[in-house]
């Protein structure tokens, strides 16, 4: 089979990239290890995505936004950061922006479903689901992707969107810096007795991090981060015992809490590829940059990067250049590196600093929050980043 572009990975970034090239005259193959039935109706995975205004605009442009049920879109009015045992909170809102919300929260599986619905019937995209890539080779003349069943696909460009632990990135010899935080993240939905008032809260407690993501009604996405061994003990609890443990861990701030979804755990590992492109090859999404969730920018960066690469390819093709034009790929790399590296480094520094429970760090982070609360420009700058993420 011969295609202009082969995209490996049908997660949000891979789907958004493929959809962005609709109408460009290019033929794409989309390879995904999951079966098509799973792509068409993915299950709840616990992840609630905080979308910036820029990401909402991109999803509208792709046609995916209108496919997301309005009842599943939750308003994010304010964000608050808590530290240790202190009742003080550093707050951020959208004041002065002519908007009453920092962004919205949407379940990850619904974004994936809406993007797949946009892609699956496009005549220029061939879906190869339920299969994996066994090998990839690229040269100045072209690229070849070999599937697990031995079938070979020829292309002019290969785009890897196959998670932060990208096998294609490794096969192409692109190193990636990894920050293993040694923690496990639990995500689920909890109903609670007291209203959340549309406020997302990140509490850096001693020995744990607990985030609350406000959803419609008196329900929140709960994000608890613990060392793996301690998380195993929490996950072993069932029914009322689990509810009581989560309520206790959040110090009854929202009253009694009750599990209303399935529970999911993920290892906390940050990843940043040393480069995002190679000969007839590019990385997008988590394959390029896998963020710690503390600043909620991973999905937004992935969507932005997919849009950036698609725009560069469209422009190159429009000028009669190769779909894998080296200058176009280099511009994408420069643009996405510039947008993502500062956020990646700042996010990792924040996560490490605010989860250091030694006494000097406790004192410093408490002081940092109070100083930040007095600096209007600082709070406005953070709010701007929350609103648009680059």
Question: What pLDDT shows up at residue 364?
Answer: 74
Look at residue 387 and tell me whether its pLDDT is greater than 70: no
d(CA 136, CA 18): 19
Task: Check residue 316 and give its pLDDT.
Answer: 97
Mean pLDDT, rounded, for 154-183? 96
Q: What is the pLDDT of residue 240?
A: 98
Alpha helices in 62-215 (DSSP H): 108-119, 167-171
Average pLDDT over residues 182-196: 97
Torsion of CA 331, 336, 338, 341, to 10 degrees: -140
Is 187 part of a structural domain of the chain? no
Pairing relation of β-strands 157-160 and 281-283? Answer: parallel
pLDDT at position 65 over 50: yes
Cβ neighbours of residue 263 under 8 Å, at least 6 residues apart?
Answer: 46, 186, 187, 188, 235
Mean pLDDT of all residues in 78-102:
76
Phi, psi of 13 (to 5 degrees): -65, -45
pLDDT tens for each residue of 298-324: 999 999 999 999 999 999 999 999 999
Q: Answer whether 30's CB lies under 8 Å from 125's CB.
A: yes
Let me know if residue 224 belongs to a domain.
no
389 DSSP assignment: -
pLDDT, residue 170, reads: 97
Comparison of pLDDT for 42 and 88, the residue scoring more: 42
SS (H, E, C) 230-278: HHHHHHCCCHHHHHHHHHHHCCCCCCCEEECCCCEEEEEEEEEECCCEE
Task: Name the average pLDDT for the chain.
Answer: 91
**Does 96 or 213 have the greater pLDDT score?**
213
Residue 70 has pLDDT above 50, yes or no: yes
Distance CA 204, CA 207 (A): 8
Range of the domain at 60: 5-73+106-178+270-354
The predicted pLDDT at position 14 comes to: 98
Q: Among 172-186, 207-221, 343-357, 367-381, which is the least confidently predicted range?
A: 367-381
pLDDT attached to residue 350: 80
Asked if residue 194 belongs to a domain, the reply is no
Please write the tens of the pLDDT for every residue from 318-371.
Answer: 999 999 999 999 999 999 999 999 989 988 888 877 677 777 767 776 666 666
| 230 lies in some domain | no
Mean pLDDT, residues 185-203:
96
- Helical H segments across 106-236, by residue range: 108-119, 167-171, 228-235
Q: Are 156 and 280 spatial neighbours (Cβ–Cβ below 8 Å)?
A: yes
Give 221-270 pLDDT, tens digit per residue: 999 999 999 999 999 999 999 999 999 999 999 999 999 999 999 999 99
Whether 290 is in a domain gets the answer yes
344, 271 contact by CB (below 8 A): no
How many structural domains is the chain composed of? 1
- What's the half-sphere exposure (Cβ side, CA atoms, 13 Å) at 37? 0
| Mean pLDDT within 101-119 | 95
Q: Are strands 199-205 and 78-83 parallel, antiparallel or unpaired?
A: parallel
Q: Averaged over 65-81, what is the pLDDT? A: 94
Per-residue pLDDT band at 390 (split at 50, 70, 90): very low
Q: What share of the chain is helix, strand, coil (3-state, %, to 5)?
A: 40, 30, 30
Looking at residue 349, which CATH number applies to its domain? 3.50.50.60
Question: pTM of the entire structure?
Answer: 0.91
Q: Considering the domain boundaries, does residue 63 fall inside one?
A: yes
Residue 240 maps to a domain:
no
Looking at residue 382, its pLDDT comes to 47
Other beta carbons within 10 Å of 243:
17
Tell me what the mean pLDDT of segment 91-106 comes to. 75
Within-domain flag for 231: no
Q: Identify the CA nearest to 179 among candidates 290, 266, 269, 267.
A: 269
Contact 348, 270 (CB under 8 A): yes
Dump pLDDT digits (tens) for 215-227: 999 999 999 999 9
- How many helices (DSSP H) and strands (DSSP E) are in the chain? 11, 21
Q: What is the mean pLDDT of residues 11-22?
A: 97
**Above pLDDT 90, what percent of the chain?**
78
Does the pLDDT of residue 135 top 90, yes or no? yes
């Amino acid at each position: 089979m011969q295609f202009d572009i082969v995209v490996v990975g049908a997660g949000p970034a891979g789907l958004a990239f493929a959809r962005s090239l609709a109408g460009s005259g290019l033929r794409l193959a989309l390879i995904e290890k999951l079966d098509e039935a799973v792509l068409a109706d993915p299950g709840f995975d616990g992840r609630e995505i905080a979308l910036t205004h820029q990401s909402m605009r991109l999803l509208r442009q792709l046609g995916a936004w209108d496919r997301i049920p309005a009842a599943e879109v939750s308003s994010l009015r304010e964000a608050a950061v808590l530290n240790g045992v202190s009742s003080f909170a550093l707050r951020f809102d959208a004041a002065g922006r002519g908007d009453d919300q920092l962004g919205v929260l949407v379940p990850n599986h619904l974004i994936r479903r809406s993007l797949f619905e946009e892609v699956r019937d496009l005549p220029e995209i061939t879906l190869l689901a339920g299969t994996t890539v066994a090998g990839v080779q690229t040269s100045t003349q072209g690229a070849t992707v070999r599937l697990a069943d031995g079938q070979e696909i020829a292309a002019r460009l290969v785009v890897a969107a196959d998670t932060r632990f990208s096998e294609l990135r490794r096969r192409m010899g692109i190193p990636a810096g990894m920050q293993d935080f040694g923690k496990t993240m639990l995500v689920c939905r909890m109903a609670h007795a007291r209203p959340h008032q549309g406020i997302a809260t990140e509490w850096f407690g001693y020995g744990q991090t607990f985030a609350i993501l406000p959803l419609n009604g008196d329900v929140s996405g709960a994000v608890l981060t613990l060392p793996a061994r301690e998380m195993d003990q929490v996950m072993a609890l069932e029914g009322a015992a689990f509810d009581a443990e989560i309520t206790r861990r959040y110090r009854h701030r929202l009253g009694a809490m009750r599990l209303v979804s399935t529970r999911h755990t993920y290892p906390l590992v940050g990843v940043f590829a040393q480069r995002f492109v190679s000969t007839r090859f590019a990385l997008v999404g988590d394959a390029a940059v896998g963020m710690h969730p503390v600043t909620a920018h991973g999905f937004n960066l992935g969507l932005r990067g997919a849009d950036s690469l698609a725009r560069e390819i469209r422009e190159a093709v429009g000028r009669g250049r190769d779909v894998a034009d080296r200058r176009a790929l280099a511009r994408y790399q420069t643009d996405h590196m510039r947008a993502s590296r500062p956020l990646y480094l700042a996010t990792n520094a924040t996560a490490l600093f605010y989860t250091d429970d030694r006494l000097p760090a406790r004192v410093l982070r408490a002081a940092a929050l109070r100083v930040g609360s007095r600096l209007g420009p600082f709070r406005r700058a953070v709010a701007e980043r929350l609103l648009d993420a680059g």
